[in-house]
Amino acid sequence: MILLSTGTLNTLGLSRIFALAAEAGFDGVEIMVDGRLDTRDAPYLRRLSSDYGLPVAVVHSPFLPDVGGWPADQLGRLERTLALAGELDAPLVVTHLPYRLYILSVAVSGARPRRFTAPLPWLRREPYYALLRDGGLAELEEQTGITIAVENMPARRFLGRLWGLYWFNTPEEMRRFPHLTLDTTHLGTWGLDPVAVYAQVSDRVVHVHLSNFAGGKEHRPPADGDLRLGDFLRALARSGYAGAVSVEGEPSAFHAEDEALCLAELRGAVAFCREHLRRER
């Protein structure tokens, strides 16, 4: 199943995104929940799904706290996302790893506040961190009947070095989770090959965020970048992978401001996925 993440075109309204997804030939959509009410209004989303013949197959929990009326903490947002997914009959929810570094602001006697990033060790006691550390996702899945897929996260470069802002963010550490969403562009930020990483965690991967990475630019169209995404999709097919592949790009990379160019880019992404996901005889 090839999905369009609404995050790919998040500068557009949801009705327009559904229309473009249907015209481009996607099989369904992944809803990226954010501060806009439309992304978390279940009756409206059900109506769009029916109008355009596109099921909501995945719901992505918001990764920023500014979601009106929703809890500010990460565990609370995950629980609300699971409830939304239940209303939409979506079988899978994507959640991010917990932060290990936080932005702090410090002011010294009248000077302008200075911002810096630092680890806050006591946040290991934060409920969402504890849930992931202690294997609580399996119990939450059993309670809700919804698969929770933990997404690998990107590196950030500072002073010439790569820095990790999240706990449990290596392929080895992520094996602690029962189900994973493998994000290819995030692997690219670490200089990792999606084919090789998939070989390490294939028994956990139930969902893929597909986009390319080139010259520091993330979330490019699948054919536009340095990652071997054709080889990666063929590896999925050979392994018997049965999960969804969500094209999750960035609006400017998909020409969201120009409908004709955007539609052509989306069609190209669908064609790329179908070509390389075809099972080899």
Query: What's the pLDDT tens digit per position in 29-58?
Result: 999 999 999 999 999 999 999 999 999 999
The predicted pLDDT at position 162 comes to: 78
Note if the pTM is more than 0.85. yes
Cβ neighbors of 84 (< 8 A, separation 6 or more) are 33, 40, 42, 59
Mean pLDDT for the stretch of residues 163-192 = 93
Q: What percent of the chain shows pLDDT beyond 70? A: 90
Task: Please choose, from the candidates 31, 22, 16, 5, the residue with its C-alpha nearest in 3D space to the C-alpha of residue 259.
Answer: 16
Residue with tokens 């029962």: 178
Q: How far is CA 187 from CA 36, 151, 216, 240, 252, in A?
A: 28, 11, 12, 22, 21
One-letter amino acid for residue 72 of the chain: A
Nearest residue to 235 (alpha-carbon basis) of 193, 267, 264: 193
Structure confidence at residue 110 (pLDDT): 53
Question: For position 125, what pLDDT does the model report?
Answer: 54
Q: Is the pLDDT of residue 79 over 50?
A: yes
Residue 240 has pLDDT above 70, yes or no: yes
What digits encode the pLDDT tens for the residues 5-33? Answer: 999 999 999 999 999 999 999 999 999 99
Residue 190: pLDDT band (50, 70, 90) is very high
Retrieve residue 116's tokens.
């810096």
Give residue-wise pLDDT tens across range 224-233.
Answer: 999 999 999 9
pLDDT beyond 90 at 185: yes
pLDDT score, position 103: 43
Average confidence score pLDDT of the chain:
90
Please tell me the total count of domains within the chain: 1
Confidence of residue 106 (pLDDT cuts 50, 70, 90): very low
Are the beta carbons of 208 and 181 closer than 8 angstroms?
A: yes
Print the domain residue range for 235: 2-277
Q: Once rounded to an integer, what is the mean pLDDT over residues 108-137? A: 66
CATH of the domain at 186: 3.20.20.150
Supply the DSSP symbol for 182. Answer: E
